Structure 1
Amino acid sequence: MTIENWFFAIRPKTLTAAVAPVIIGAAMAFDEGRAHWLSAMLCLLGAVLIQIGTNLANDYFDYVKGTDTSERIGPVRVTQAGLISPDVVKKSFIIVFALAAVIGGLLALRGGWPIVVIAVLSVMSGILYTAGPKPLGYLGLGEIFVLIFFGPVAVGGTYYVQTLEIHAPVLIAGLAPGFLSVAILAVNNLRDIDGDRKSGKRTLAVRFGDMFGRWEYFVSMILAALIPAALMLMTQSHVWVVFSSVAIMILSRRLIQDVTLKSDGATLNGVLAQTGQLLLIYAVIFSAGWMA
């Protein structure tokens, strides 16, 4: 085992999906003068730990179920590649999820039972995404999981634990990172469609075909771009958040073109990484616009 192998295992490029909604939730609390920085930092740490734990669990269970094979065209999976033993990967995700649970407990001291519920459901969903007899990801429910937990739950939870309140605009704001995370999953499943079909992993791309996956990516981008404009109209303020919509429209143009016209693994891997970067850029621009 080397540091490089663990780098492959935790998949740092996916961590933007955990970081982005926390940034947005913290910015919305800060704008109201109600930021609680210790809670915000614990939210960030907890979200990253849950994402890492989910990545490790996916690595392990996809190998055990035979989904990841030598024909895989995506980034290296350490269990399948023999870089880290299955037993070590299993112990690692258990430890990481346990640490996330500790963070959740600390946050619950401030936020109470709502935070306990969010923490428990987040950890359970991270495990059940690929574990158990009927994993969420194998049933085509991955998009729903991603939209909810990387969207309104993450943004709303971060905001709530600081302000101890929740409001509709906060949950609506969470839809944008949720849709962008769905776009990440869409291109991931489009890339893996052949292997998933062979292994019985019934993602939406497998169920409805690669054209559905391409449209899913496009529609997710459009819906994400509409959220800031909707919030501006709803609140009659925060006009600068529109620049985050513009950022999506500009930065996603070539990505949508690649997803629409190309199918090779190298291109789709690049789109996946760049969509993750777009998510982080969006979060920063939206947050700055909201606080302006």
Structure 2
Amino acid sequence: MKILRSILFWLRNARCVALPQSLFPALIALKLAYPQAGFSWQYAILALFGVVFAHLSANLFDDYFDFKQSGGCHREILASSGLKVRIAKCNYITSGETTTKRLFQVASSFAVMALFIGCYIGFHRGFPIFLIAILGGFLLFFYSAKPLKLSYRGLGEIIVTLLFGPLLMSGVYYAAVGDLPLLLWFISFPMGILAGNVLYTHSILDFASDEKALKITLARWLKTPTKMLIAAFLFIFSPYLIILIGVFFKIVNISLLLVFFSLPLAIMLFYLLYQFLYFPDKKFKPVWWIKPMERWEKIEELGIDWFMIRWYLARNMMIYFSLLLFLSLFF
């Protein structure tokens, strides 16, 4: 029971609720790969586990280096001064439930498991897997780690778009089949942009905290609400435009237009970001069609509902878009 509690503790704090960001692109890559000659269930399933371990590791390393950079109290200080700041990040460290040393050990364990899987598949599938794994691992680690600290230099959204789109999907597809078709690359960019949008939404909401931590995100680089909204518009709606272009030029099947059924969530997200930037104190309750939003009562109790309703919506938009895209591949 103690082991189970420990596993659940680390899964929760590694933000397993964010796993759809990596799992859905991986599953779509496998759906594209499945009809092809040479498809291997063994390598496909291993690749899925590798993706999960890498994602969990990246989230924990991000907490570790973020905590080392700014300490555990700056969010509380900002909140006490009246600024709208999410104070729940890294609370499992500040509360004394674990230590930074243990956090680093667990993050490293997830990374080693992902590395082992990548090496195993690479020995059987060839050099491209090693190349993708090395590049992906480099970007994941130095996303927050010194000396590069890429996410502190306004590159976070670009890195996440590349990691969760082209790199992840090409790695999973190649692991399963040993080939990389044009269609995969075309579909991978909308998926990557949607993952980047989750982070960009996060960076808008965390603007004050990131400013205190001297973290240059895309939102901080843009500075003004108008510029931030223009970028949000591009992140939110460009995946739909890419699919539309693909259908128009017959690069993808017309069935992919199914993704447009997720458009209401995109519109709602843009509206809520607009409200946050211009009317930050206005409160919203989640309506049924933008759910799921896990542990909502606890979130309200912590006072981070203003943050989580928008973060969940960005995540759910990606989930629904991905599910509809996945279904469209059966037609």
Q: Same fold (TM over 0.5)?
A: yes
Give the CA deviation at 1:32: 4.0
Where does residue 206 of structure 1 map in the other structure? 220
The CA RMSD over aligned residues, in Å, is: 2.1
Residues 56 and 93, structure 1, Cα contact 8 Å, conserved in 2: yes
Matching residue within 204, 223, 244 for 1:190:
204
Where does residue 321 of structure 2 map in the other structure? 282
Where does residue 289 of structure 2 map in the other structure? none
Residues 15 and 51, structure 1, Cα contact 8 Å, conserved in 2: yes
Structure 1, residues 26-75: CA drift from partner, whole Å, max 9, x if none?
11112446542222211211111111001110111101101653425154
Tell which structure's C-alpha radius of gyration is larger.
Answer: 2
Residues 73 and 192, structure 1, Cα contact 8 Å, conserved in 2: yes
Give the whole-Å Cα distance in 1 for the aligned partners of 2:87 and 2:185. Answer: 33
Matching residue within 86, 89, 98 for 2:100:
86
With over 3 angstroms needed to count, the CA separation of the structure-2 counterparts of 1:43 and 1:213, relative to structure 1, is farther
Q: Does structure 1 residue 225 correspond to structure 2 residue 240? A: yes
With over 3 angstroms needed to count, the CA separation of the structure-2 counterparts of 1:60 and 1:281, relative to structure 1, is same
Identity percentage over the alignment? 21
Alignment-mate amino acid for residue 275 of structure 1: A
Where does residue 24 of structure 1 map in the other structure? 28
Residues 54 and 114, structure 2, Cα contact 8 Å, conserved in 1: yes
Write out aligned runs for 1:102-141 (5 A): 102-141=116-155
Give the CA deviation at 1:161: 2.1
Q: Does structure 1 residue 215 correspond to structure 2 residue 218? A: no
Give the whole-Å Cα distance in 1 for the aligned partners of 2:269 and 2:117. Answer: 36
Matching residue within 86, 108, 111 for 1:73:
86
Residues 14 and 276, structure 1, Cα contact 8 Å, conserved in 2: yes
Consecutive unaligned residues of structure 1, counting only runs of 5 or more, are none
Residues 237 and 266, structure 2, Cα contact 8 Å, conserved in 1: no
Where does residue 53 of structure 2 map in the other structure? 49
SS class of match (1:110): helix
Count of residue pairs the alignment pairs up = 291
With over 3 angstroms needed to count, the CA separation of the structure-2 counterparts of 1:125 and 1:67, relative to structure 1, is farther
Give the CA deviation at 1:234: 3.9
Give the whole-Å Cα distance in 2 for the aligned partners of 1:230 and 1:163. Answer: 27
Give the CA deviation at 1:130: 0.7
Residues 21 and 174, structure 1, Cα contact 8 Å, conserved in 2: yes
Where does residue 269 of structure 1 map in the other structure? 308
Give the CA deviation at 1:9: 1.5
Consecutive unaligned residues of structure 2, counting only runs of 5 or more, are 77-84, 282-303
Q: TM-score, normalised by structure 2?
A: 0.82
With over 3 angstroms needed to count, the CA separation of the structure-2 counterparts of 1:67 and 1:147, relative to structure 1, is farther
With over 3 angstroms needed to count, the CA separation of the structure-2 counterparts of 1:94 and 1:236, relative to structure 1, is closer
Give the whole-Å Cα distance in 2 for the aligned partners of 1:132 and 1:236. Answer: 41
